[in-house]
């Protein structure tokens, strides 16, 4: 007799415990609080606009709001933004969102910011630099936050991009665990668009199931990125919504438990149709 084992994965994010099951992937809505917000024409700056945008994304199905105060498009200024500027942009928004009951993630690489936002009650630290800035791993380890560890590279010169990204994430995970971070806090992210060719990005997307097999929660962030533009032939990021939804759905079908997106309603609807199909066929 065959028994179907239902593996319930959890992702421990401070005072919030996500039950990450295959059929209910988490939608992480992107909230840029940079003056030059790239994919949305620089709207929703200002505290009230940012909070209103977060409400809209939650109404449209977002489970998590990811607040970013650094312009982190691939190829951005390596010096990034100053600590003072990042604090000024991010902290007021984060404080409001936490107080209004949102599950909040903060896109930052700076250990001081990690301390600050954890004190404000943020649930997730999302670092596109894989907690590589001096002191970042230690700062993250001192919190109880969920940690998104993303791979990023300066060159596209891989022998085997999937194997190398996987080895990197394993390595970062081991270092974090050595600092006392429990396994169930760590989410992996291959860093779609960060130091990969278009083909390498799609190789990573197609390898989602392999990464998911690591047992860690897995996040894919491809929303409106240039590789989506290349595949669809759309130069304008706002024309890349349908392509992005298709990409997110591929990730979800392959087992990704978190998708980071601009277009929450469209992504949520696509996931709902996929889930209805899975449930109708008795696939749990
Ligand atoms: C990610 O993949 N990406 S910021 C260029 C674009 C569109 C979007 C128009 N933070 C990720 O979203 N955090 C960013 O062209 C991230 N994973 C995680 N965890 C880049 C971005 C974007 C860049």
Please give the C-alpha separations between residue 67 and each of 37, 137, 261, in angstroms, as whole numbers.
12, 20, 12
Strands 9-13 and 16-20: antiparallel
Sequence-separated (6 or more) residues with CB below 8 Å from residue 88: none
**Ligand 1 pocket check for 189: Cβ under 6 Å:** yes
- Given this model, what pLDDT does residue 71 score? 75
CA–CA distance, 218 with 9 (Å, rounded to integer): 11
**Ligand 1 pocket check for 38: Cβ under 6 Å:** yes
Give 263 Cα–ligand 1 centroid separation in angstroms: 13
By the 8 A CB rule, do 208 and 220 touch? yes
Query: Which residues are part of the catalytic machinery?
Result: 225, 260
pLDDT by residue for the chain (284 residues), tens only, comes to: 455 556 668 999 999 999 999 999 999 999 999 876 544 444 544 899 999 999 999 999 999 999 999 876 655 666 678 999 999 999 999 999 999 999 999 999 999 999 999 999 999 999 999 999 999 999 999 999 999 999 999 999 999 999 999 999 999 999 999 999 999 999 999 999 999 999 999 999 999 999 999 999 999 999 999 999 999 999 999 999 999 999 999 999 999 999 999 999 999 999 999 999 999 999 98
- Given this model, what pLDDT does residue 4 score? 56
Atom of ligand 1 nearest to the CA of 39: 9
- Given this model, what pLDDT does residue 37 score? 54
- Given this model, what pLDDT does residue 38 score? 40
- Given this model, what pLDDT does residue 239 score? 98
Intra-chain end-to-end CA distance of the chain, in Å: 18
Give 156 Cα–ligand 1 centroid separation in angstroms: 17
- Given this model, what pLDDT does residue 72 score? 64
- Given this model, what pLDDT does residue 74 score? 56
- Given this model, what pLDDT does residue 48 score? 92
By the 8 A CB rule, do 188 and 218 touch? yes
């Amino acid at each position: 007799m065959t028994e179907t084992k239902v593996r319930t994965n959890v992702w421990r994010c401070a005072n919030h415990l996500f039950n990450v099951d295959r059929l209910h992937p988490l939608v992480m809505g992107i909230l840029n609080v940079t003056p030059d917000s790239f994919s949305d024409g620089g709207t929703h700056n200002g505290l009230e606009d940012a909070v209103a945008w977060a409400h809209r994304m939650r109404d449209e199905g977002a489970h998590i709001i990811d607040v970013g105060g650094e312009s982190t498009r691939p190829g951005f200024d390596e010096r990034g933004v100053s600590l003072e500027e990042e604090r000024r942009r991010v902290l007021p928004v984060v404080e409001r969102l936490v107080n209004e009951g949102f599950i909040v993630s903060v896109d930052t690489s700076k250990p001081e910011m990690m301390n600050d936002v954890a004190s404000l009650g943020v649930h997730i630290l999302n670092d596109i630099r894989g907690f590589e800035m001096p002191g970042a791993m230690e700062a993250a380890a001192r919190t109880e936050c969920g940690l998104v560890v993303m791979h990023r590279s300066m060159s596209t010169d891989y022998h085997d991009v999937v194997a190398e990204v996987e080895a990197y994430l394993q390595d970062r995970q081991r270092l974090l665990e050595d600092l006392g971070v429990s396994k169930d806090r760590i989410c992996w992210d291959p860093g779609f668009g960060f130091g990969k060719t278009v083909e390498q990005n799609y190789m990573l997307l197609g390898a989602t199931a392999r990464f998911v097999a690591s047992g860690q929660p897995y996040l894919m962030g491809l929303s409106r990125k240039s590789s989506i533009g290349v595949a669809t032939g759309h130069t304008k990021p706002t024309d890349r919504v349908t392509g992005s939804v298709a990409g997110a759905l591929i990730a979800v079908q392959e087992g990704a438990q978190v998708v980071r997106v601009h277009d929450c309603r469209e992504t949520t609807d696509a996931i709902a149709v996929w889930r209805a199909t899975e449930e109708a066929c008795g696939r749990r």
